[in-house]
Structure 1
Amino acid sequence: MDDAPARPPARRLRVAVYSGVLAAALAAAHLLVARVSSGGSEQVLLHVLLSGTAAVGAAALAAQRVRRTEADLATLAFSDVLTGLANRALFTDRLELALRRTARSGGEVAVVFLDLDGFKAVNDSLGHAAGDRLIREVGTLLQSAVRSEDTLARLGGDEFAILVERSPGVEEATRIAERALAALAGPVDLGGQRVTVSASIGIATGDVAATASSLLRDADNAMYWAKGAGAGRYVVFNPQMRSAAAERRQLETDLWAAVDGEQFRLVYQPVVDLGSERVTGFEALIRWDHPVLGVVLPEQFLPVAEEIGLVPDIGRWVITQACAAAAGWRRDHPTAAGLSMAVNVSPSQLGSPGLLADVRTALEASGLPPSALVLELTESVLVRDPVLAAERLHELRSLGVKVALDDFGTGYSSLSHLRQFAVDILKIDRSFVGSIDEAEAMPAILRGLIDLGHTLDLQIVAEGIELERQRTQLRDGQVGLAQGYLFAAPLEHTDAELLLLGGVSTPAEGTGTATPA
C-alpha cells in the first residue's frame, strides 16, 4: 500500500491539462493533412514544425503549472493556514503510518494533546485578530519543545498535538510536555498587549492495537483531567478516564440545558458588622438544582461552564437576580436601607466586553444604587492580564460600583497590585482566619494583612469565621466586617429576608447569631 496521502484534486488537474495539449496536437495533425492535399507542403511543413515547437513549450509550461498547483493543493490540504504547522488531516495520516510501523518494528507511539487555558477570554476581550496572533505565537513557541522527528500540528481552534514516534514508554512524551509548558510560561506580546498563556496537556500512548482516532480521544480525555486539576499541567491517560470523560461530556450537555431551563438559583450569605453584629449586606452564591444529581455547588460546575463559554451568560443572570433581590429588600424593609450585595466575577466575565453593559442594565432595571453593588474578584483573575484588568476595573468603578479583592493573601498579593487595581475592599481568606484557632495572639501575617488594608484606607472583610475566638480577635484587631458560619450559612431568599426582619438561620443551615440590618 502506498503510504503517501492521495491528492485527487491535483491528479484531476494534471489529466485535464495533458488532455488539452493532446487535443491541440491532434488539431495540428488534422491541419497538416488538409494542407498537403491542397499542394502547400513546404509552408505546411514549416507551420507544423513551429506548431510542434509551440506545443512542446506549452506542454512544458503546463507541466510546470501542474507541479506548482499540486504543491499549492498539498499545502492547503495538509497545512494549517494560520500557523503553517501540520493540520489535523496530515497529523492523522502520519499517526496512522506510525501505528502501522509499530506492527513491523514494535514499540509505541505517543500523542501529546494541548489545549490553551483561557483562550476564549483573550478572544472576547482583545478580539479575534489578537486571538489569531496568540495562536501563531504559541505555534512558534511550541516548535522549540519538539524534536526534529516529531510532528507538531494545530488541530483547530486552540488545540495542538505532538506525535512522538519511536519512544519506548511515556518518558519522552512527558519530557516534551514539560518543555512545552516551560515554553509557554512567559508573557506573550500581542502588539502592545501582554498576556500570559498556559496549556492543559493530555498524553496517551499506543501500539499496533490502537487506532489514530482512539489515541487522539484518549489524549483528549487526559487533557480534560489536566484542565480539571488546574491550568498549566499535564496528565497521562489511564483507562479509568474514559468513564469520567463521558460524565464530563454529559455535564456539558446538562449545563446548556440548565441555562435554558432556569435550573439555577441564588443563596445569600450575610456580611456582618463585627462591632454592632448587624447585617450590612449579603454575598450572592449560585446553586444548580440538577434534575438528577440534586444540588450542585459552583466549584463543581463553574470551571466546566468557563471552558465551554457559558460563564458570561450565567454571570449576567446572577448579577441581574442579585441586584433585584437587594433592591427589593432595601425598598420593602426600612432597616435594610443601606444593604449591599456582593457578586463574584470570573476570569471570562472580566474579559467579556459585555460586562459593563450587564452591570449597568441590572442596576437600571432593579433601581439598586451602584454604590450598593460589590463585585468580587480573586487576585489570580487580575494578574492574568493586568493591563486589561486595570482598565476594566476603572470602567466598573466609574459606574459607582465597589470592587473587592477576594481571597487576599493567598499567593499573588503585593502592594503594587493593590495600587494598580484600585480596589475598595479587601477580603481576607479563611485560611488566615483559621490560624487564629490555634494561637493565643493574632498571627503576625494576619496582623500584617490587616495593617496593610488600614494603611491603604480599604474596608476589610474577614471570611470563614466559625469560632467565638476568631470573632473576638478580629473585632479587637479593627476588622470591620465578617462572614462565616458563626453568624449564618448561605440562606435561601426567604430565610435571608427573615433574617433582615429579625429571625435567624434555621438549624439545618447553621446557628446564626447576627441581628437584622
Structure 2
Amino acid sequence: MPARFTVADGLEHAPAFPSPEPCVSGKRGVNHWLYALPQAAAILRLRGAAVEIEQSNALFDQTFPDHANAFLGVDARDGEEWSARIAAFQQSARASDSFEIRREGALSAQFLACTIGRLDDREAPGCRLLFTAIDRTNERVMEKSLRRELMSDSLTALPNRTGFGEEIDDRLAHWSKTEGGSYAVLAIDLIRFSRVNESLGPLAGDELIITVAKRLKSSLRQGDVLARIGGNEFAVFARLNNGLSDALYIVQRINDALASPVRLTNLQISVDCAIGCALSSSLSDDSDDIVRQAQAAVKIAKRSGKLEIYRPGVLKEAHRRFTLESRLREALANGKLELAFQPLVHLKSGEITGFEALARWHDEELGDISPAEFIPVAEESGLIVPLGRWALYEAAQTLAKWDRRQGEVLPLSVNVNLSPIQMSRDDVPSVVEEALRYAGIAGRRLTIELTESAIIADPDKARQVLAALKSLDAAIAMDDFGTGYSNLASLQSLPIDLLKIDRSFVSGMGEDRDKNAIVRTILSLADSLNLKVTAEGIETQTLAHELQSLGCWQGQGYYFSPALPEPDAFDYWRARWNFQTI
C-alpha cells in the first residue's frame, strides 16, 4: 500500500503518482477522481466554522504547498475572509460558486480562479465540498498590460482621455468628505500645432508634443495629474486648497513653462496655447462632465486669447455649435445654401458697378442662421474651404447667367470674400482660375475680398497668393480696413486695388468726430497710394453725399439696398440701369 500522511484528523493526501488501481467507491475512488482533474483540486470538509482539507491532488499540493495556511491565505484576515465565504456558500442554496483568489508572492501577486461545488455524501450530508483552482496570473498580467496601453498615450506615456477620467475618479474616491472636494480641470490646446505638422511633418509634430508634455509635467505640483486627451490637447487635474487662486497659479506656471521656443531641426518654434478651466466643489460631480466643461471653455479661449473659466451655458453653446457644424456639412453636401447679392454703387454717378456675394443659410430645423454665427463654425471645423469654393463657383456662374439673360456682357463685377483659413489651406489661385474658366467670364470682373488678418498670419504666402490672383486679372480688396494691424509697408508691397472702410467707422461718422477723422485719413491714404475706396454701412442719403464729397469712390449699405436673392438683384440692377443720381 503506498505511503500516506495525515493533515488533519482522519484526513489523507494521495501520493504524487498513485498506482493505477480499479476505481472503487470510498476514499480511494474519490482520490483517483481528483487526480483525473487537470487543475488543482481538493475535497474540503466543514467542521463547524472551520474549513479542513480532506483530500487533494498533486497540482493542489504544488499550488498550495503549505496546505491550509497557504490555501486560506498567509494573512490571517484573508484566511478568515475565505473561510467565511466558503461557510456562507455552504449555508446558501446554490449548487456551486466561483471566485478569484489573489495571493501575494515574493515577487508578484498570483491570481487563482476558483470554484466550489457540493458533493453528495451520505455519511456527512452537505459538509463536503469539491474545490478547484486554475492559475490565471499570466492572463491577469496580460490584461493589466493591455489595460495600461488602452489607458495611456503611446507617444508621451501620459494617461489618455479614458485614463484621465479613471485617474480623476480614483482620486475623488480616496478623498474624505471632511477634506472637501474642490478641484479644477484645465484643458490646454496647442494653437499652431497643425501648422507644424503641415510644414515640418509628423515626426516634428511628435517631437513637439513630447517636449511640451515634459515642460507641462515639470510645471505641475505634486499630486496634479497631467494627461494627453487629444492630438494637440492636454488636460490637468488639480486639487484646489485655496480656491481659484491655485488654478491661476498653475496656469501661470504652465505659461512660463511654454514661454521659451522649442527647437525643432534648425527652427525655433514658439508654442502658443489656449487654456480653459472648469471648477468643481463637490465629490459627487461627474468627472466626464467637468472635462467636457474645460474643453468647452478652451474653445472660447482660442477665440479670446486669454484664460477662460467655464460658466453655465457654455456647454449649451458648444452643443449649438456642434449642431450647426453637422447641419452645415449636410447643407453644403446637398446644396442647401444660397448667395445673396448686395449692390456696390458708384457714389458720383449712382451707377451700380457690381455686387458683393454673401452666403445665406436657411435650415429646415434651425431656421435662418446668421453668417456671423455659421462662418466662425465653418472656420473652426475646416468647412470654410468647401464653403469658400462653393461661393466662388456660384458667384462666377451667377454673373455668367446674368450675361446670358441680358444677351451681352454686363458692366458688372462680383466681390467674393476669402477666409484666412481658406487662404492658408487651399490652393486659392487654382480654384479662382477654375471658377472663371467654367463660368467663361474674365478675371477683371472678379474682386477677392480678404481681411488684414489673412495677410498678417502668413505674409509670404499672402504675397504669393495675391500675385497669382493678379496674374488672373482679378482685383484685390482689403476688407474691414482700419480694424486690424495694417501698415503702410504692407499696403505698398502687396498688389491691393481697393480698401473697404469698415461700417463701424462709416455709420457714426456724422456724429463722432473721431470716426469722421479716421474716414478722412483712410481716404487721404488711399489717394496717396492710388487705391480706390468702398465705404460699407451707408444707411442715409446724408452719409452718401458726405462720402461723395470727400472723394470716396464706391459705397454699399441699406440706403441703397440690403443683400438680395439672385433674381431680385438682377431686377434691381435693370431698374437702376442708367440711373445717374444718388
- Into which bin does the TM-score normalised by the smaller protein fall? 0.7 to 0.9
State the alpha-carbon separation in 1 of the partners of residues 281 and 249 from structure 2.
17
8 Å contact from structure 1 (residues 198, 231) kept in 2: no
2:474 maps to 1:404: no
| More displaced stretch, 235-244 vs 214-223 | 235-244
**What is the SS of the residue equivalent to 1:502?**
helix
Question: Per the alignment, do residues 215 and 344 of structure 1 end up closer, same or farther by CA in structure 2, a change over 3 Å counting?
Answer: same
**What is the SS of the residue equivalent to 1:437?**
coil
**What is the SS of the residue equivalent to 2:468?**
helix
Alignment of 1:38-57 (within 5 A): none
State the alpha-carbon separation in 2 of the partners of residues 187 and 141 from structure 1.
11
State the alpha-carbon separation in 2 of the partners of residues 418 and 444 from structure 1.
20
State the TM-score, normalizing by the size of structure 1.
Answer: 0.74
8 Å contact from structure 2 (residues 181, 280) kept in 1: no
8 Å contact from structure 2 (residues 385, 426) kept in 1: no
Alignment of 1:176-191 (within 5 A): 176-177=250-251, 180=254
8 Å contact from structure 2 (residues 240, 247) kept in 1: no
**What is the SS of the residue equivalent to 2:500?**
strand
Which structure shows the higher helix fraction?
Answer: 1
Query: Which of residues 161, 164, 180 is equivalent to 2:238?
Result: 164
State the alpha-carbon separation in 1 of the partners of residues 204 and 441 from structure 2.
36
Alignment of 1:219-298 (within 5 A): 219-226=294-301, 230-298=303-371
How far does residue 279 in structure 1 lie from its aligned partner after superposition?
0.7
Structure 1 unmatched runs, 5+: 1-68, 505-512
| Deviations, residues 204-254 of structure 1 (Å, cap 9, x unaligned) | 325310233222122223334545xx3423332244334434333322222
| More displaced stretch, 133-142 vs 379-388 | 133-142
2:184 maps to 1:115: no
8 Å contact from structure 1 (residues 340, 372) kept in 2: yes
**What is the SS of the residue equivalent to 1:277?**
coil
2:437 maps to 1:364: yes
**What is the SS of the residue equivalent to 1:317?**
helix
Question: Per the alignment, do residues 307 and 372 of structure 1 end up closer, same or farther by CA in structure 2, a change over 3 Å counting?
Answer: same
State the alpha-carbon separation in 2 of the partners of residues 420 and 183 from structure 1.
38
Aligned residue for 1:458? Answer: 531
How far does residue 136 in structure 1 lie from its aligned partner after superposition?
5.3
State the alpha-carbon separation in 2 of the partners of residues 344 and 161 from structure 1.
37
| Deviations, residues 178-216 of structure 1 (Å, cap 9, x unaligned) | 665677789888766978845262423253102332221
8 Å contact from structure 1 (residues 323, 362) kept in 2: yes
| Deviations, residues 308-355 of structure 1 (Å, cap 9, x unaligned) | 221111111111101111222245437863311111111221111333
Question: Per the alignment, do residues 181 and 487 of structure 1 end up closer, same or farther by CA in structure 2, a change over 3 Å counting?
Answer: farther
Query: Which of residues 405, 408, 421 is equivalent to 1:348?
Result: 421
How far does residue 380 in structure 1 lie from its aligned partner after superposition?
1.9
8 Å contact from structure 1 (residues 370, 399) kept in 2: yes
**What is the SS of the residue equivalent to 1:112?**
strand
8 Å contact from structure 2 (residues 180, 281) kept in 1: no
Structure 2 unmatched runs, 5+: 1-141
Give the percent of matched residue pairs that are identical in Structure 1 and Structure 2.
37
Question: Per the alignment, do residues 264 and 437 of structure 1 end up closer, same or farther by CA in structure 2, a change over 3 Å counting?
Answer: same
Question: Per the alignment, do residues 478 and 134 of structure 1 end up closer, same or farther by CA in structure 2, a change over 3 Å counting?
Answer: farther
State the alpha-carbon separation in 2 of the partners of residues 71 and 94 from structure 1.
15
Matched residue type, 1:205: S
8 Å contact from structure 1 (residues 124, 353) kept in 2: no
Aligned residue for 2:282? Answer: 207
Aligned residue for 2:229? Answer: 155
Aligned residue for 2:465? Answer: 392
Larger Rg: 2
State the alpha-carbon separation in 2 of the partners of residues 175 and 248 from structure 1.
31
State the TM-score, normalizing by the size of structure 2.
Answer: 0.66
8 Å contact from structure 1 (residues 195, 385) kept in 2: no
Q: Which has the higher contact order (CA 8 A, sep 6+)?
A: 1
How far does residue 473 in structure 1 lie from its aligned partner after superposition?
2.2
| More displaced stretch, 131-140 vs 290-299 | 131-140
How far does residue 78 in structure 1 lie from its aligned partner after superposition?
5.9
Task: Number of aligned residue pairs: give it.
Answer: 438
Question: Per the alignment, do residues 439 and 204 of structure 1 end up closer, same or farther by CA in structure 2, a change over 3 Å counting?
Answer: closer
State the alpha-carbon separation in 1 of the partners of residues 571 and 470 from structure 2.
32
